[in-house]
Amino acid sequence: MALANENNKINLPHPDGTGGEDLAPFLRVKDLPVGERVSLQLLGHARFSKSQFGEGIILDAILCDKKFAFDVKFKSRNYIKLFRKFGDDAANWTGSVEVEIGNHLGNDYVKVV
């Protein structure tokens, strides 16, 4: 969080370890093949996320040799499945999971199988 000092100068935080690389795009439903399950490789690096849809983590992942950011909300079935498989240490969230296109209340989403 940026803080103002007594001179109203804003002190910006240092960038978070991207090393100048381009940020990976978020994994979207359109990135998945229709009607198929595919393997998503989780890379064990997680960042906290907070949005209008709730709190969660963003995981680095690879799908079909392309790097993505996979957003997982804490109050979701995807989070429950991943937590049960990998445990409570995000550094251990490495390995493959199957994903497919799911639908909840008429909205498509990336579903961990």
Q: Tokens at residue 15, please?
A: 């960038």
Number of domains in the chain: 1
91 in a structural domain? yes
11 in a structural domain? no
Give yes or no for a contact between 102 and 109, defined as CB atoms under 8 angstroms apart: yes
pTM above 0.85, yes or no: no
pLDDT by residue for the chain (113 residues), tens only, comes to 545 556 677 777 777 665 556 789 999 999 999 999 999 999 988 999 999 989 999 999 999 999 999 999 999 999 999 999 999 998 899 999 999 999 999 999 999 99
CATH code of the domain in which 74 resides: 2.40.50
8 in a structural domain? no
6 in a structural domain? no
63 in a structural domain? yes
Phi and psi angles of residue 82, each rounded to the nearest 5 degrees, phi first: -70, -40
Q: Would you give the end-to-end CA distance of the chain in angstroms? A: 36
